Structure 1
Amino acid sequence: MDYITWRSIYTVIVFVLFIGIALWAFSRKRKKQFDEAAKSIFEEDELSSTKQDNTKQESKNNE
């Protein structure tokens, strides 16, 4: 086998892996998990803003 044959085989393998990853990412089974992960960043923001508000109120009370 020469270099061109190996390169062709490598190209086919990478293409198959790409298709597999794309199917995995867009599968219906994963949609719920990905939606939860996408929304989790907003939950963290809400928690941190609540903590900051509580801290501001406590510092005002201590003055």
Structure 2
Amino acid sequence: MDYGTLRGLIALLILTLFIIIVVWAYSRKRNNSFDKAANSIFEEDRKEETNKQETNNNV
């Protein structure tokens, strides 16, 4: 096996891993957990706003 064949096999391996990651990321099974992660930042903002309102009401 020469250097060119090895480079070709490594390129094929990287392409295969890329396709597997893309399929995993866009699978319907992962959709719910990704949606929760995407919306978690808004939940933190709501908690901070609630804490600010409680603090202002106590003053």
Return the TM-score normalized by structure 1: 0.85
**Where does 1:16-27 land on structure 2 (aligned, <5 Å)?**
16-27=16-27
Q: Which residue of 1 aligns with 2:2?
A: 2
**Where does 1:28-39 land on structure 2 (aligned, <5 Å)?**
28-39=28-39
Which protein is bigger by CA-based radius of gyration?
A: 1
Greater Cα shift, 47-56 or 25-34: 47-56
Q: Which residue of 2 aligns with 1:56?
A: 56
The runs of at least 4 consecutive aligned structure 1 residues that moved more than 6 Å come to: none
Q: Which residue of 2 aligns with 1:42?
A: 42
How large is the RMSD of aligned CA atoms in angstroms?
1.0
* Matched residue type, 1:45: D
Q: Cα offset for 1:56?
A: 2.7
Q: Cα offset for 1:57?
A: 2.8
2:21 paired with 1:12: no
**Structure 2, unpaired ranges of 5+:** none
User: Identity rate of aligned residues, in percent?
Assistant: 46
Q: 1:2-27: per-residue Cα shift (whole Å, max 9, x none)?
A: 11111000000000000000000000
